[in-house]
Amino acid sequence: MSYKKVLRGFMNWFVFFLLAAFVVTCCMLLFVNIIADTLGISFTEENISAAAKLTFGNVILISFIFTLIDTIRRKLMVDRPTKRIISAGEKITNGDFNVRIEKFSDNGGYESFNSIIDCFNKMAEELGSVETLRTDFIANVSHELKTPLSVMQNYGTMLQSPDLSDEKRIEYAKGITDNSRRLASLITNILKLNKLENQQIFPIVRSFDLGEHLCASLLQFEEIWEKKNIIIETDIEDDVIISSDEEFLGLVWNNLFSNAFKFTDEGGKVSVSMKTENDYAVVSVSDTGCGISAETGKHIFEKFYQGDTSHSTQGNGLGLALVKRVVDIVGGEISVESEVKKGTTFTVRLKRGAFIGMEKTD
């Protein structure tokens, strides 16, 4: 293969420079002839033929020397960095996202290639991060799907026992129902999060009373707080109108309230407040639950992250990731403050006016 490339390169050089030598020789002879006529000098055919041959040979020799120099230059300055980049690109194509290209010396005339290498290394780093997230996501989804399915399978097997009491039958049936709901919730959250991240669904903006919206969302959990004897405290300003997507924000409140009641022990307290600060409506949801550590707080909005594994059977680690994505889409901010064994407070800041780029509908 290399022999054919060398032969093809030589043929290209030979044809090109043979033509160039012919043209240069003709031009030189024409130039000399004009000068000779001007000065009244005459040349014999032998002199002209010898001059033509010498000129032609010199052009061929000089062109060959420059071609050789240019070939060496290209091998060092172009082909070498190009091969290094191509080799790294092939490794990335084969799934090796840890590959990095070493930059060339700054004083070697490789500035352009070093810029390309910088972009390539950044791309490889981003692809590696995406691949890690994808792998973790698949692993976590597989685990989250497998757990309720295994429980349902076990309960289904036990339900087939002919001498099963009515009490056990109801217990096993309830276990199947609870895990099927958990599985449905997981799949629903995955689909919602996927659509949000891929911008397949868009907010529908309208004006509504945020206080009424919060109270309506909170009342959906009345049965839970009564069952656990949880104290509810509310401090919600009246007549706070915002322009946003009501359904989107419903996802936020439902997940925050669900977490608050889930992690608050019996007899604890959940507080909900909503106040205005300049052009913002600030909503806080607090609980007296187990709290989270500072390290957990750094990852709390990541997919499938569950800081308290003792409550992992009650959730799937997607709720807060969904909350964060929704708050980002509607142009808000969310933060968390927590202390272990004392409780957690989530704070959401929303602009009271319509957010930029979305049409408002009343």
Q: What is the 3-state secondary structure (H, E, C) of 5-21?
A: HHHHHHHHHHHHHHHHH
84-116 pLDDT per residue, tens: 888 888 888 887 888 888 887 766 667 777 888
Q: Domain residue spans in the chain?
A: 2-96, 206-351
pLDDT of the residue at 41? 63
Between the ranges 19-33, 55-69, 93-107, 222-236, where is the mean pLDDT highest? 222-236
Contacts of 230 (CB under 8 A, 6+ apart): 224, 261, 264, 266, 267, 268, 269, 270
Looking only at the bridges linking them, the beta strands covering 333-339 and 280-287 are unpaired
203-247 pLDDT per residue, tens: 778 899 999 999 998 998 888 899 899 999 999 998 899 988 888
With CA atoms as reference, report the closest residue to 259 among 227, 223, 289, 220.
289
The model's confidence at residue 124, banded by pLDDT at 50, 70 and 90, is: confident
What's the mean pLDDT when you consider all of the chain? 77
CA 188 from chain centre, in angstroms, equals 22
Give me the residue label for tokens 């130039």: 31
The model's confidence at residue 305, banded by pLDDT at 50, 70 and 90, is: low
Distance CA 175, CA 341 (A): 30
pLDDT of the residue at 109? 63
161-173 pLDDT per residue, tens: 888 888 888 888 9
pLDDT of the residue at 348? 94
Q: Of 71-75, 104-108, 146-150, 297-301, where does mean pLDDT reach its minimum?
A: 104-108
CATH number assigned to the domain with residue range 206-351, chosen from the 4 options 3.40.50.1000, 3.30.565.10, 3.40.50.2300, 3.30.1310.10: 3.30.565.10
Between the ranges 51-65, 196-210, 345-359, where is the mean pLDDT highest? 196-210
Contacts of 207 (CB under 8 A, 6+ apart): 241, 242, 243, 360, 362
